[in-house]
Structure 1
């Protein structure tokens, strides 16, 4: 392993047959991206990997995209997939380091202890000519006990209060979207940002979109943006996906009071009663 949250491709290949290791392909793409993550998984995935559908393991009663389900629902969904207590969960995606961080955050918020993201994701794995399989993988049902961490997630009302109290908010969207200079990818969502939020584009933390930069550089990026890792932080983005990239990076550098605003800008910018700065 390379860190508390990241595993190398060398480590994973050496542990593919370990009975306590479960690998998840958590690929997800923007609605404007024509890639089909399920089709790509069926065509080629890391041996033994299950497909973890972030759009399916979600709150089905919400009209917002892939909102975190409740702990009972989450337990039921992942139990049926064959993910259980005590397992080491390794997550990757087809972009490199994108939606895997969201799945990591979901499992951590549900109390899973041994959750990791594959360094470089599937692109790095393929570039190293490591083994791939096609088709669909299945595993026997396992018991999963969710221990929901309320401190890891924030709601709309939580963010309203945080803004009034001057808490730190880091926005993972591009600076152009943050400043309403580029359109939002989802219709009916205003441009701009929350009062007091600062821009920390998730791409600034990555090398070629595949791996995190060194911890010292990551900490410098946050501090230069005005974020103190030693104080509570809320991360946000478009739909709570790249906000998790910030949350994972902050965990890597030792920040321990980090929460993701699950509804993120799709919820905030999609309403008419929320303050917006552009």
Structure 2
């Protein structure tokens, strides 16, 4: 496989790269159907990261088993390169999970899949499966619902969903289900994750994003917990917060999907019926 050049892609973020190293472990976070049709040669399907993961023991064991499979494959690799349709939320979730598990040299491909050279692509073959574990991995950078509950007044809680989700008019932005509970975690501040992208779908500069985060009243010195509907958008945002010098950044992976199923307090709570 040849190394791909930037071809005009402006990166500016330490977690993004336009190059594909020969000895990198490649993880495709698109759906399994898209992977089967075409992927970067040598890539594994990491489509399991698209599943929702809560704070419960079964969910964390499944996530830990998935990560263990990746850790084993990465033992003889120089780096891990993750991609989806293009610098999106599932690549971000996979990267944040691996980083939280202590893995090093984890990068996200800073290019859209549709822009890749066809000579570097081929049908996907190998799908990553979960290992069975007796105890979960200690994910540093991911917090359970109990931590959020007990620290609501001590942290900067940021909801990175759309304004419609934050205000409780939609339960989720994509494929909302009738009868779903809308709302937000009390005390959270909204910053729409879509603001980080320009019209071409590239992540904007660190200077621009950092300026907007501060303009939104988000304080770099305060401990910050990010959430959305299922933790994917929040995971991508966590990288940006860190590189904009926010000092203590964590993700509530269960997010609103998990919170809404409890009796914990919620703001703008209602049942959505179109």
User: Is the TM value for this pair above 0.5?
Assistant: yes
Q: State whether structure 2 residue 140 is matched by structure 1 residue 155.
A: no
TM-score, reference length from structure 1: 0.78
Relative to structure 1, is the Cα distance of residues 71 and 54 closer, same or farther in structure 2, using a 3 angstrom cutoff?
closer
> Which of 47, 52, 61 in structure 1 is aligned with 2:46?
52
Any unmatched runs of 5+ in structure 2?
A: 1-5, 129-135, 269-274
2:153 corresponds to: 164
TM-score, reference length from structure 2: 0.79
Alpha-carbon distance in structure 1 between the residues aligned to 2:206 and 2:98: 23
Aligned residues: 248
CA contact 1:91–1:118 (8 Å) conserved in 2: yes
Alpha-carbon distance in structure 2 between the residues aligned to 1:98 and 1:75: 17
Alpha-carbon distance in structure 2 between the residues aligned to 1:183 and 1:56: 18
Q: Which stretches of structure 1, 4 residues or more, deviate above 6 A after TM superposition?
A: 56-61
2:271 corresponds to: none
> Which digits, 9 at most, give the CA deviation of each residue in 1:95-138, with x for residues without a partner?
5422100000110010001000011331333xx65621113148
> Which of 5, 25, 28 in structure 1 is aligned with 2:15?
5
2:236 corresponds to: 245
Relative to structure 1, is the Cα distance of residues 224 and 90 closer, same or farther in structure 2, using a 3 angstrom cutoff?
same
Alpha-carbon distance in structure 2 between the residues aligned to 1:105 and 1:43: 27
5 Å-filtered alignment, 1:195-206, equals 195-206=186-197
Any unmatched runs of 5+ in structure 1?
A: 28-36, 140-145
2:203 corresponds to: 212
Alpha-carbon distance in structure 1 between the residues aligned to 2:252 and 2:240: 16
1:131 corresponds to: 120
> Which digits, 9 at most, give the CA deviation of each residue in 1:166-217, with x for residues without a partner?
x101111110010012233356542121111111111111124732110111
> Which of 264, 268, 271 in structure 2 is aligned with 1:274?
264
Alpha-carbon distance in structure 2 between the residues aligned to 1:208 and 1:261: 28
